[in-house]
Structure 1
Amino acid sequence: MSNELIPTIKLDEVTELGLQVVDYRKAGDLHFLKSPHRNEHYLFVLVNEGNLKLIVDSRGVVIPAQSVYYILPGQVMQHFDTDADAYVIAVDAFLLNQTYKYILDEGCFAQIPVSIDPEKAKRLQAAILLLAAEIKDKSINSCKEHIKRGLIDAVAGMFAGEYTDSTVAHGRKDSSAVRITTAFKRLIFAEYKKLKKPSSYAAALHISTPYLNEAVKEISGNTVSYWIQYMIMVEAKRLLIYTDKTIKAIAFELGYADYTYFSKMFIGMVKMSPVAFRKKYR
């Protein structure tokens, strides 16, 4: 199935906050989730009771009671069935702590549900409800964004904490494609501001560029070039929202001496200019 045939759900088409909390008991008909689609954001799932059934990258996934699960940007998923008491939290990548992203991305698009201690589940649900209440609160004050960011960190950190055990995070069939993709992701997290070409990553990993692309595409569904641009865009969004740096300074920090080229690339990926993005989300 080609990427062109799979619709992509963008969080800014649902909410302007880069963030959404869904209580499955109150969500009504989830018709738009029942067809295969990709998300541009992270999805975190907490199931308290019952079973939530999804299809993720053509794999049936059953998330049982007292379990957590997450879905990475770019994965193909669809809602299959549920009798669950569950919460789903959608978070734009630029809002996530980099440490948590590193842990979550280590799943290499083959993450599995993880059982969670009942007491931890209660604390996690409490944090999710606080976050949901903060989203609904329309009052404006100078601390609101910091409070929201702190609650996002708390919720995402609790999920990431359940996946820090490498035996869980790597609970998948071992293969050369998985090993190469894992090594590539570790490298790109550290070097994306410096290395901009697939050939540079291939050379650093001592393999050919076509072999690297083939492995990464097989595991992640996207090319090496896509992930290079993706990492740049995530950091660019973060800098646009949480700093007052000029577009030129942000471009330079991300490794682009020509900020006009950077702006064109941003528009191509995000479908709006850096200035428009900053104005919308600040």
Structure 2
Amino acid sequence: MKKNIPTISLNEFTNQQTSVFHFFGEQDNSVLYQKIPHRRDDHFLFILQKNGYSRIVVDFKEITLTENSIICILPGQVHYVTLLDSGTQASLLIVDSELISKKNRGIFEENYFDYQPVSINSTTSQFLNSCLELAEASQKLSTGSEVIYSLTNTCVCLFADAYEQIKISKTDISRKHIITKQFKSLLLKHFRTHKSAANYADELNISSPYLNEAVKLTTGLTVSYWIQQMILTEAKRLLYATDHTVKEIAYELGYDDHAYFNRFFSNLEKMTPLQFRVSYRR
């Protein structure tokens, strides 16, 4: 019986807090790109697709990476690879969560539900690739940890900057945009216990109407929508990757009444939790 979603630890790849890997075509059988279903990491994973294309699934959303595109997969997101084109050239950077600054973490968390790669121009792609190669070389040369971490942080900042460019310009950042970022960060931590806008408004010391107004203005969707999507996503992960009963999953997600949880899931997904499990385990 599968009790928990498999979590891949950073130390399964390296004894350091960061490492770089390269992949060339479908013949590459590295553990990072094997078709291992329902796995989640305890670290950040950054992918630069330089050439060709590949397909990955992140929280049941299929994503196609094409030439000069990047994506960040956060700790906890369930993911696996479904396709590596023969022309694929990609670089992967894995980084201990402790090395990600609060600012950059906020940028990546804000895009938690976007499930879309970010396209970058060829110049930025080449520059990012050069930084990744320098970070890799510093590890092979066993340079001091300060050098390795500085180069790694440069790479992470380039990923973060690319993500930030797809949002509103820095000169247009408003208080409402900041509140939305704070809300999404809190949501990732408290979705099992905080089920209403009021819970998050209390955390942010603002009113529920103001929180709803801020989130709706910046995302086009309500606070309730984002709360529901976070709960639904984790429910799908548990249904797919564990053998927990619906009642156990409901309790783990903060619902004492599993019948209510069953209705909640069914209304959003248009199938019952058990129907979802059967459908995705074929």
Superposed CA deviations along residues 202-222 of structure 1, whole A, max 9, x for unmatched, are 524655xxxx89954732756
Q: From the superposition, tell whether residues 106 and 77 of structure 1 become closer, same or farther in structure 2 (CA, over 3 Å).
A: same
Q: How many Å separate the matches in 1 of 2:81 and 2:92?
A: 12
Q: Percent of counterpart pairs with the same letter?
A: 25
Q: How many Å separate the matches in 1 of 2:225 and 2:9?
A: 26
TM-score normalised to structure 2 length: 0.60
Long gaps (5+) in structure 1? 170-179, 224-282
1:88 aligns with 2:89: no
Hey, what does 1:99 align to over in structure 2? 103
Hey, what does 1:218 align to over in structure 2? 229
Q: From the superposition, tell whether residues 85 and 32 of structure 1 become closer, same or farther in structure 2 (CA, over 3 Å).
A: closer
Hey, what does 1:126 align to over in structure 2? 130
Superposed CA deviations along residues 153-193 of structure 1, whole A, max 9, x for unmatched, are 11011111111135489xxxxxxxxxx9855235689xx9x
Hey, what does 2:8 align to over in structure 1? 9
1:158 aligns with 2:137: no
> What pairs up with 1:51-200 in 2 under 5 angstroms?
51-83=53-85, 84-138=88-142, 144-167=144-167, 182-186=181-185
Q: Using the TM superposition, give the Cα deviation of residue 6 of structure 1 relative to its aligned residue in structure 2, in angstroms.
A: 2.1
TM-score normalised to structure 1 length: 0.60
Question: Are the equivalent residues in 2 in contact too, given 1:216–1:222 (CA < 8 A)?
Answer: no
Query: Which letter does structure 2 place at the counterpart of 1:40?
Result: D
Long gaps (5+) in structure 2? 170-178, 209-222, 236-282
Hey, what does 2:215 align to over in structure 1? none
Number of residue-to-residue matches in the alignment: 200
The structure, 1 or 2, with the larger RCO (C-alpha pairs under 8 Å, 6+ apart) is: 2
Query: Which letter does structure 2 place at the counterpart of 1:28?
Result: N
Q: From the superposition, tell whether residues 27 and 206 of structure 1 become closer, same or farther in structure 2 (CA, over 3 Å).
A: farther
Q: From the superposition, tell whether residues 206 and 51 of structure 1 become closer, same or farther in structure 2 (CA, over 3 Å).
A: same
Hey, what does 1:175 align to over in structure 2? none
The structure whose Rg is larger is: 2
Q: From the superposition, tell whether residues 181 and 11 of structure 1 become closer, same or farther in structure 2 (CA, over 3 Å).
A: farther
Runs (4+) off by over 6 Å: none
Superposed CA deviations along residues 117-153 of structure 1, whole A, max 9, x for unmatched, are 11111111000001111122235xxxx1111111011
Q: How many Å separate the matches in 2 of 1:131 and 1:27?
A: 22
Q: From the superposition, tell whether residues 161 and 108 of structure 1 become closer, same or farther in structure 2 (CA, over 3 Å).
A: same
3-state SS of 1:61 partner: strand
Q: From the superposition, tell whether residues 32 and 205 of structure 1 become closer, same or farther in structure 2 (CA, over 3 Å).
A: farther
Hey, what does 1:24 align to over in structure 2? 23
Q: How many Å separate the matches in 2 of 1:18 and 1:87?
A: 17
Q: How many Å separate the matches in 1 of 2:91 and 2:57?
A: 17
3-state SS of 1:78 partner: strand
Q: From the superposition, tell whether residues 166 and 118 of structure 1 become closer, same or farther in structure 2 (CA, over 3 Å).
A: closer
